[in-house]
Amino acid sequence: MFKAPRGTSDLLPDKQKFSRHIESIASQLSSLYGYSRVDTPTFEDSSLFVRSVGEGTDIVDKEMYSFDDRGGDSMTLRPEGTASICRAYLEHGMHNFAQPVRMHYFCSVFRYERPQAGRYREHHQFGIEAIGDPDPSIDVEIIKFAHDLITGIGLNQINLFINSIGDSNCRPAYVESLKKYYETYRDELCKDCLTRIDRNPLRLLDCKNEECSQLSIEAPKSINYLCEECESHWESVLDYLKELEIPYTIDHKLVRGLDYYTKTVFEIQPKDVGGQSTILGGGRYDALIEQIGGRAVPAMGFATGIERLTLNLIKESVDIPDIKSPKYLVINVGDKARIRAIKIADQIREKGTGAMVANGTRGLRGQMRQANSLNVPFVIIIGESELERNELVVKDMATAEQNICSINDFMSAL
């Protein structure tokens, strides 16, 4: 028996309502905020992600699904959406559009991670990016969008964590002092952190190992090392957040798992945190477009995982309306009635109302059971005698009330 590959899953009809609900709120907010939809390919040149997400990150070092295609080019199934959007911005000369260019996307994302609840090898993201504006008001617009999305789908018990990790001006001095701090605790660090000291010191701060995590509490804080420009950007972001009354917590350990961030970084977590707690993350990435071959263009965005949101909606028992079944199931008894049922269902659908034909090889009872399990509000019953009189029976499944009427009258009433 074949099974879905480890860390992937089939999304069956009974779970679809959660994703559809999230997608619907995300799409509504995208049009309210003016973020247009963009779709990019599922795979890209591997070097796009190496240059943007960064060597030394878990994603690039351990998690990418990369392969040489038949032409010998190295391709990678996207491990995130931002790099592709930036590639598209450059490729299509979007710097000529009115700036910032506001875009949103829904995409599948592939990371070879150790699967557990909320962590999969294929997951689905909704994300937004605003490219071409350095102003702190954009940071706050994006954080507010994120907040509206999470509360809009029904998750209200959340924390917003925020930090600034500076830019190429001020970060080197910060990273130096971070390295110095951790050097003194070399003996206590986990194996991964020993390599992080040299390869990617910022990531020392978000190591999940208990001892490393204890050390990070006293580690130097990036906001104490900001240059004048980053400092004033940071102050404005906090001022605007206060003005918009968005509650936040400054988290000095928040550095994010991708290397392209500058200045503002943020994450949203449910208050009642479990293993895979972050449901949404993002930040400013003013140097990314330059890193992949363009001129310097400032940008900011976030992404959220649909599966993690779904887990939280279920955990919080958020009431999501079921996806409606078609209004009518056309039950038919006898060969002639079966053919007529197809036509009746077709006529109902032409009027814009949902209709399905029941499995006529089953008897009346079997078809009624089908109606119950499909949860249709009404059934139409036709047998040989109804056909002779050009009539049908309509049964309301909630009240069990039945009415006989002529097929013509029924269709005109629709």
When asked if residue 312 is in the footprint of ligand HAM (CB under 6 A), the reply is no
Q: Give the phi and the psi of residue 10 in degrees, each rounded to 5.
A: -90, 135
Give the nearest distance from C-beta 295 to ligand HAM in angstroms.
Answer: 20
The closest residue (CB) to ligand HAM is 305
- Of 46, 57, 76, 304, which one interacts with ligand HAM (CB under 6 A)? 304
Q: CB 35: neighbour CB atoms within 10 A?
A: 24
Query: Pick from 303, 355, 357, 382: which binds ligand HAM (CB under 6 A)?
Result: 303
Residue 54 interacts with ligand HAM (CB under 6 A)?
no
Beta bridge partners of 281: 267, 303
Residue 373: alpha-carbon gap to chain centroid: 31
Q: Is 164 in the site for ligand HAM (CB under 6 A)?
A: no
Residues linked to residue 102 through DSSP beta bridges, in sequence order: 130
Kindly state the number of chain residues that form the binding site for ligand HAM, as judged by CB under 6 A.
Answer: 27
| DSSP one-letter string for 264-307 | EEEEEEESS--SS---EEEEE-TTHHHHTTS----EEEEEEEHH
**Binding flag, residue 126, ligand HAM (CB under 6 A):** no
The residue from 23, 45, 113, 316 that contacts ligand HAM (CB under 6 A) is 113
Q: Which of 307, 355, 380, 381 lies at the binding interface for ligand HAM (CB under 6 A)? A: 307
Q: How far is the CB of 357 from ligand HAM (least distance, A)?
A: 39
Q: Which residues contact 227 (CB under 8 A, 6 or more apart)?
A: 166, 167, 169, 170
Using rule CB under 6 A, residue 129 touches ligand HAM: yes
Q: How far apart are CA 202 and CA 253, in angstroms?
A: 9
Q: Does 21 bind ligand HAM (CB under 6 A)?
A: no
Residue that is written with structure tokens 């591997």 in the block: 46
Does 120 engage in binding with ligand HAM (CB under 6 A)? Answer: yes
Considering only residues 100, 220, 257, 360, which one is a binding residue for ligand HAM as defined by CB under 6 A? Answer: 257
Q: Are 269 and 63 in contact (CB under 8 A)?
A: no
Rounded to the nearest whole angstrom, what is the least distance from the CB of residue 81 to ligand HAM in the complex? 5
Which of 107, 380 has the CB closer to ligand HAM?
107
Would you give the binding string for ligand HAM spanning residues 265-294, x where CB under 6 A is met?
A: -------------xxxxxx-----------
CB of residue 267 to ligand HAM, shortest distance in Å:
7
Q: What gap in Å lies between CA 359 and CA 361, rounded to an integer?
A: 6
What is the C-alpha to C-alpha distance for residues 195 and 60, in angstroms, rounded to an integer? 15
310 vs 367, which CB is nearer to ligand HAM?
310
Distance CA 361, CA 341 (A): 13
Q: Which two tokens stand for residue 147?
A: 């907040």
| Residues of the chain by 3-state class (helix, strand, coil), percent to 5 | 45, 20, 35
| Distance from C-alpha of 358 to C-alpha of 330, rounded to nearest angstrom | 6
Choose among 346, 352, 344, 414: nearest CA to 381: 344
Q: Which is nearer to ligand HAM, 152 or 383 (CB)?
A: 152
**According to the binding rule CB under 6 A, does residue 298 interact with ligand HAM?**
no
Compare residues 149 and 331 and give the one whose CB is closer to ligand HAM. 149
CB atoms near residue 228 (< 10 Å): 9
Q: How far from chain centre, in Å, is Cα 200?
A: 27
Minimum distance, C-beta of residue 262 to ligand HAM, in the bound complex (Å): 11
Q: How far is the CB of 98 from ligand HAM (least distance, A)?
A: 20
Stretch that binds ligand HAM, among 100-108, 303-311, 321-329, 356-364 (CB under 6 A): 303-311
Q: How far is the CB of 67 from ligand HAM (least distance, A)?
A: 19
**Which residues in this chain contact ligand HAM in the complex, by CB under 6 A?**
80-82, 111, 113, 118-120, 123, 125, 127, 129, 257-258, 278-283, 301-305, 307-308
